[in-house]
């Protein structure tokens, strides 16, 4: 593989909170099934095709334990299969209603639904883990793990933080027979000293946002006095695709994520313009989108090459660019995203860029000296305000109290030497309440009521189980069994 210009690492972060049995539309299971159909299936398909071509160390793929649990869950597998069938029926209905260019789009939707169903019924019928394991075993991807339910780690008590991380890494090892050496720290959240937790749990590398390294992301760096390594996201390159204000997916020719034909449940419009009302948006034109995509592929490759040449002039050696995105961007949020992703991964090596994983970047020598990292995240302001700001102060206070009660439950005398299903479920509910998603959704005013309800619901379930375990063990067992039907991502979780 050529590395004349330098090294490029693409990191994808795959995550959704626990959604099964917790609402459907507009927030809930529908969110999971849309991302599954439009992002996870096509991204895995392109990885499999690269694997068939003999490509190795292609990209670094983070999959959070709570998402993996849903993609393996028997209930979710059945429900997603039904969702795929409804997608085909919606496309058929659109074909009977839409005219002109939209009639062609309905036919494209129908074929996509059939292809997704066939892919799911053949390769995914036993869940995600067998599919992912083949990619990991063949070194097509480097796998990143993470804490069990994607909590914002800087706001966790050290014991809770360690337990959440240990539980998440153990879950990945059980599913894939592979314990990740690296993690995607949820929200890239970091507090000074967290590298000690990582080292204790066997984590050797993690991601931070570029400003945490004051923009010096041209090499990985050891953190403090530890041997744990951090990689910084290069925002100059990353933001060409997706930024708070601009990026490729907002181009007028691309399919509009927010505009629905609610009669058929499909998206018929192109972006058209930032300030154009949904009713006034132009019909989606796949040919125009495809032509725009080719230009954006060329632009991104040029951006990476230019950045690497600049780094080489500044540092006197080949540099490293790390671009990191949510996997759900590709297909779910940005309809054309998977096609762009495949084209970029093919074009960069042709432009003289080494494309590899974080592991591969270290093997290529992209490691600098130690660094002291500040408290940081990849959220607004690059600090903790999204998860610890005024809008969510009540949630932070509630989570702090929940952690105190969780630790009190853990420290309470307990006569049983075997596992206690009541305590196991109580701990599960506490971890689900501590998911970073709830505060993010409130701060960003994205289904904030749903997020507050979910956080409160799991906290109340924990408190109910904790109280019953001390006063009415028989009723506590029955309550825990009922809650396991709704929220049971980690069968191995042991409260002891």
Active site residues: 187, 326
* Start-end of H helices in 316-392: 337-350, 358-363, 385-388
Give the CA distances from residue 262 to residues 37, 267, 271, 343, in Å, rounded to whole numbers and listed in that order: 19, 9, 17, 32
Eight-state DSSP code of residue 154: G
DSSP 309-326: HHHHHHHSS-EEEEEEEE
> For residue 128, what are its two tokens?
């995600």
DSSP 171-228: HHHHHHS---SEE--GGG-B-TTHHHHHHHTT--EEEEEGGGGTT--SSEEEETTSS-
Q: Is 393 exposed, middle or buried (0-12, 13-18, 19+ CB in 10 A)?
A: exposed
Cβ neighbors of 347 (< 8 A, separation 6 or more) are: 297, 298, 301
Cα–Cα nearest to 226, from 204, 208, 211, 201: 204
* Start-end of H helices in 364-420: 385-388, 393-411
Q: Yes or no: say if 456 and 401 are a contact pair by the CB < 8 Å rule.
A: no
**The pairing of beta strand 141-145 with beta strand 229-233:** unpaired
Eight-state DSSP code of residue 374: P
Cα–Cα nearest to 482, from 457, 469, 465, 470: 465
Give the CA distances from residue 98 to residues 83, 263, 264, 283, in Å, rounded to whole numbers and listed in that order: 22, 11, 10, 11
> For residue 39, what are its two tokens?
């992002």
Q: Give me the residues paired with residue 60 across strands.
A: 11, 142
Whether omega for the bond prior to residue 26 falls within 30 degrees of 0, making it cis, is yes
Q: What are phi and psi for residue 50, nearest 5 degrees? A: -65, -40
């Amino acid at each position: 593989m050529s590395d004349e210009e330098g090294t490029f690492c693409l990191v994808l972060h795959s995550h959704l909170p626990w959604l099964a049995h917790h609402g459907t539309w507009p927030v809930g299971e529908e969110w999971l099934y849309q991302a599954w159909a439009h992002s996870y299936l096509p991204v895995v398909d392109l990885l499999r095709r690269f694997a068939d071509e003999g490509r190795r160390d292609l990209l670094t793929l983070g999959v959070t334990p709570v998402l993996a649990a849903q993609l393996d869950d028997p209930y979710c597998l059945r429900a997603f299969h039904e969702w795929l069938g409804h997608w085909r029926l919606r496309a058929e209905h659109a074909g009977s209603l839409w005219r002109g260019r939209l009639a062609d789009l309905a036919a494209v939707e129908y074929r996509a639904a059939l292809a997704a169903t066939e892919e799911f019924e053949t390769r995914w019928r036993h869940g995600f883990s067998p599919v992912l394991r083949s990619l990991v075993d063949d070194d097509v991807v480097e796998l990143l793990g993470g804490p069990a339910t994607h909590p914002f780690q800087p706001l966790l008590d050290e014991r809770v933080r360690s337990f959440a991380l240990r539980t998440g890494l153990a879950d990945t090892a059980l599913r894939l027979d592979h314990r990740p050496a690296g993690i995607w720290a949820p929200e890239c959240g970091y507090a000074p000293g967290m590298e000690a937790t990582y080292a204790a749990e066997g984590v050797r590398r993690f991601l931070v946002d570029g400003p945490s390294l004051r923009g010096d992301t041209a090499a990985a760096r050891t953190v403090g006095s530890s041997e744990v390594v951090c990689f910084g996201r290069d925002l100059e390159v990353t933001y060409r695709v997706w930024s708070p204000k601009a990026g490729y997916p907002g181009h007028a020719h691309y399919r509009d994520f927010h505009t629905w034909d609610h009669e058929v449940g499909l998206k018929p419009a192109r972006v058209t313009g930032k300030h154009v009302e949904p009713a006034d948006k132009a019909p989606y034109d796949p040919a125009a989108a495809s032509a725009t995509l080719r230009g954006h592929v060329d632009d991104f490759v040029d951006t990476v090459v230019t950045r690497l040449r600049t780094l080489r002039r500044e540092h006197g050696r080949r540099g490293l660019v790390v671009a990191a995105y949510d996997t759900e961007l590709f297909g779910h949020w940005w309809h054309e995203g998977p096609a762009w992703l495949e084209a970029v991964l093919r074009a960069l090596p042709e432009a003289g860029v080494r494309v590899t994983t974080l592991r591969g970047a270290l093997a290529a020598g992209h490691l600098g000296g130690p660094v002291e990292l500040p408290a940081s995240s990849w959220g607004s302001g690059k600090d903790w305000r999204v998860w610890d700001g005024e809008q969510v102060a009540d949630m932070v206070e509630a989570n702090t109290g929940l952690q105190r009660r969780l630790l009190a439950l853990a420290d309470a005398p307990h006569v049983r030497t075997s596992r206690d299903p009541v305590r196991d479920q109580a701990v599960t509910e506490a971890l689900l309440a501590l998911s970073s998603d709830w505060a993010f959704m409130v701060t960003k005013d994205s289904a904030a009521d749903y997020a507050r309800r979910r956080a409160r619901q799991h906290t109340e379930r924990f408190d109910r189980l904790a109280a019953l375990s001390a006063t009415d063990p028989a009723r506590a067992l029955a309550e825990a069994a009922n809650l396991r039907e709704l929220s049971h991502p980690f069968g191995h979780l042991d409260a002891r």
